[in-house]
Amino acid sequence: MTSVADVSALVLVEGVSDKVALETLAARRGRDLDADGVAVVAIGGAQALARTLEGIRVQQLNARLAGLYDLGEEQDVRRALERTGFGSNLTRASLEALGFYVCEPDLEGELIGALGTAGVEAVLERGGSLASFRTFQRQPQWRGQPAGAQLRRFFGSSAGKIKYARLLVEALDLTRVPRPLDAVLARV
- Per run of 10 residues, the mean pLDDT along the chain (length 188 residues) is 77 97 98 97 96 87 93 97 96 98 96 97 96 95 95 84 95 98 97
User: DSSP string spanning 1-33?
Assistant: ---GGG-SEEEEESSHHHHHHHHHHHHHTT--H
Amino acid identity at 172: L
Report the pLDDT value the prediction gives residue 157, as an integer from 0 to 100.
77
Q: How far is Cα 139 from Cα 118, in angstroms, rounded to an integer?
A: 20
Domains within the chain, CATH numbers bracketed: 4-106+177-187 (3.40.50), 108-171 (no CATH)
SS3 category, 173? coil
Indicate left, alpha or beta for 67 from its phi (over 0: left) and psi (-120 to 50: alpha): beta
| pTM summary value | 0.93
Report the pLDDT value the prediction gives residue 51, as an integer from 0 to 100.
96
Report the pLDDT value the prediction gives residue 166, as an integer from 0 to 100.
96
Report the pLDDT value the prediction gives residue 3, as an integer from 0 to 100.
67
